[in-house]
Amino acid sequence: MTKRRIIVLGLDAMSPKLMLDWVRDGTLPCIGSLLERGLSGSIEGLDGYFIGSTWPSFYTGVSPAKHGFHYQHQLVPGTYQLHDVADGEPTRCPPFWCRLGDAGLRVALLDIPLSRLDPAVNGIQVVEWGVHDDLYGPGTQPPELQSEIASKFGPHLVGAKCDGASRTATDYCEFTDRLVQSIATKTNLTRHLLARESWDLFVQVFSESHCVGHQCWHLHEVEHPGHDPTLAATSGDPVRRVYKALDNAISEILADVSDATVIVMSAHGMTHWYGAQFLLRDVLIRLGAAMPLPTPVSTRGARDVLLELAGAGWRRLPVSLRHRLAPLRSRLGRVSNAGPRLATAGLEPSLSLCFPLSNGMGTSGIRLNVTGREPQGRLQAGVELEAFVASLTADLLALEEATTGARLVHRVVRTADTYTGPCLDVLPDLVVEWSRDRAVGSSLVNEDRGGELAVRHPRFGTVTGVNRYGRTGEHTPDGWFIVTGPNVPTGVEREVGILDFAPTICWLLGVQHEGFDGKPIKRICEPESPT
């Protein structure tokens, strides 16, 4: 087999539906051209773990039960404490590019989300220059590359902290302008690094599609409960504008490329904000599965009150000022969170059968309080635990939106029934996948008509809460990909998972591809691929 040169360009969280719609109407001509002459298909996300685990699963080629990453803050097994994964090993399995380096292949890696700097990388690496989540802090390998990027290209104009609320029309226009300018800068940086040498593998991910989806979905979707026609008339559709800029970026980058296999992909998708993560704790209490602490909420410490007031003040600052102060806020936040945090905050562990665990917002984690595993476990493994899981699953599936009767929970995934691996114990026992049928507003975006949700259950009646998170778009498990290049057929490939890309890239580069949970994509690797 002739070794290939591979270029991977990621458009993080770009909606597959919008991509296809805007290819059809001519908004995205470059992606449309790639679709016509390449192999394309949908990417199936991981059951229950298609938010925080997506990119670590992409670059390790194994499930979260083996690499151990599902969220930025995770439970310390055997305790009720949370820890920042950035403080330890991000994943228990090495990225696939370690295999490439061991084989002597040269790689260039730019802003792959949720990846840590590898001083031993055989090539160059840039982390968190322009990503959506700053988990580990910016850095480069070799270290002097960081000053070169700063002098030639400057900082990313949005950075990782793109969350905001109470934006005016002017704020949204400025925010979109910065995203578009950042795409242009990152395109120039990509072309600069791509031309440095003939890399065996070059991977670069644009985060701007991720940011605009979370922040501006209500300006795109007129049916969104947070949609403001007057605001949208001034701001336009930021999502379309950013997607169009990304399409132009792909065109400019690929103009420099010849005789390479090119993979353009979005590892997961985006849609309106959905789900009732903000009500899960109350639902578990109403169901009798969890018990609140006896201490009244009014006895909160002064630190909690100050942090809440500081957060409210931050949201009232102009967006331009928040942007300039974001690095300082991030550093102060890390210091303030240095102490232990409890996963059971607000719940009494000695009286609770389970408690919520963060797993993103479109999916909610639940940890069972198991005797012998948790410090104050209440559930006996075996018949008692199985009966509780069955009852709780049925109760969660019975939740409905009070005013419409619409089902709120799409399904409940039992992690141990779906995954196996040495990191199973760091994951939630159950994952609640909320229905994406209903868009939920945000009170931080539209105080007058956003965020309230009433949940009804046959046993406890109705519980009502307000979504105070400022995002208006959330992830979906479906991504998409297009592959073009020498000997790549045209058409559509079915049944491609996020775990299949690591073995596919290794196979194409002639490197051992066994040991992954995924498998090489058939239409790319056959007929030469062994059966």
Position 296 scores a pLDDT of 55
**Contact assessment for residue 492 and residue 68, using Cβ atoms and an 8 Å cutoff:** no
* Residue extents of the structural domains in the chain: 6-61+96-273+474-491+498-525, 277-297+332-470
- Report the CATH superfamily, name and number, of domain 6-61+96-273+474-491+498-525: Alkaline Phosphatase, subunit A (3.40.720.10)
**Contact assessment for residue 320 and residue 377, using Cβ atoms and an 8 Å cutoff:** no
Show the tokens assigned to 144: 């002097």
Position 409 scores a pLDDT of 96
**Residue among 92, 64, 54, 26 at smallest CA distance from 475:** 54
**Contact assessment for residue 490 and residue 56, using Cβ atoms and an 8 Å cutoff:** no
Q: What is the pTM of this model?
A: 0.90
**Residue among 100, 99, 75, 101 at smallest CA distance from 88:** 75
Q: What would the 3-class secondary structure string for 262-321 be?
A: EEEEECCEEEECCCCHHHHHHHHHHCCCCCECCCCHHHCCHHHHHHHHHHHHHHHCCHHH
**Residue among 139, 130, 134 at smallest CA distance from 207:** 130
**Contact assessment for residue 5 and residue 198, using Cβ atoms and an 8 Å cutoff:** yes
DSSP 172: H
pLDDT digits (tens, 9 = 90+) for 205-256: 999 999 999 999 999 999 999 999 999 999 999 999 999 999 999 999 999 9
CA distance 117 to 127: 6
Position 164 scores a pLDDT of 75
CA distance 418 to 23: 36
CA distance 16 to 35: 12
Low-confidence ranges of the chain (pLDDT < 50): 1, 297-305, 307-308, 312, 314-316, 319-320, 322-323, 326-327, 329-339, 527-531
Burial of 94 (0-12, 13-18, 19+ CB in 10 A): middle
Position 430 scores a pLDDT of 98
DSSP for 27-59, written as a single string: S-HHHHHHHHHSEEEEEEPPTT-SSTTHHHHHH
DSSP for 441-477, written as a single string: --TTT-TTTSSEEEEEETTTEEEEEE------EEEES
